[in-house]
Structures are given as C-alpha cells and as structure tokens.
Amino acid sequence: MIGDRPIYRTVDLRAEDLKKGDVTRNRFGKWDVVTSVKPYGKGAKSLYVDVNFETGTDMQIRTVALVKLQVVKPS
C-alpha cells in the first residue's frame, strides 16, 4: 500500500547545522547519511565543517553553505 511509505522532500540547511543521521548529498552527488560533523581547521571560529558520511567519504564545506537535506514530508 502506498500510504504506508513516508514521502520525502528536500529543504535547504546551513552546513554547520547538520547533525548525525541527516541525509544529504556527498561529494559524488549521491544521497548519503551523515555520521559526524565537526569544525575543520584551527581556531574557535572555523569557516569550514568536516562532514563524514556512512559510505566512508568525507568533505569540507563552508559553514554558511546551503546543503540539500531530505526530511519526511508531514502528512
């Protein structure tokens, strides 16, 4: 039955607001689950975050960059 499946939508979120378990695109453009997000570089106010994914890939993104995030559409 189609009514039992969740329906997803995408929203824009700042990279520094990502958290473990979020689903976003990795550096290859494929949807992937975030396993950790931490500041990248030295200093208390880093301009980049280091995002690690479930597939083992990682990438550095500017903290203010908007990334697409998959969320369940409210019904």
Catalogue all structural domains in the chain, each as residue range(s) with its CATH number: 2-72 (2.30.30.30)
Q: What is the pLDDT of residue 45?
A: 78
| Whole-number pLDDT of residue 1 | 53
The pLDDT value recorded for residue 46 is 83
The model's pLDDT over 11-27, given as tens digits with 9 standing for 90+, comes to 999 999 999 999 999 99
Q: pTM (2 decimals)?
A: 0.82
Q: 65 to each of 7, 26, 42, 69, 75, how far by Cα in Å?
A: 26, 14, 19, 12, 29
- Residue spans of the chain under pLDDT 70: 1-3, 43-44, 75
At 31, the amino acid letter reads W
Rounded distance between C-alpha atoms, residue 41 and residue 47, angstroms: 8
Please tell me the distance from the alpha carbon of residue 45 to that of residue 34, in angstroms, as a whole number: 22
Which pLDDT belongs to residue 50? Answer: 94
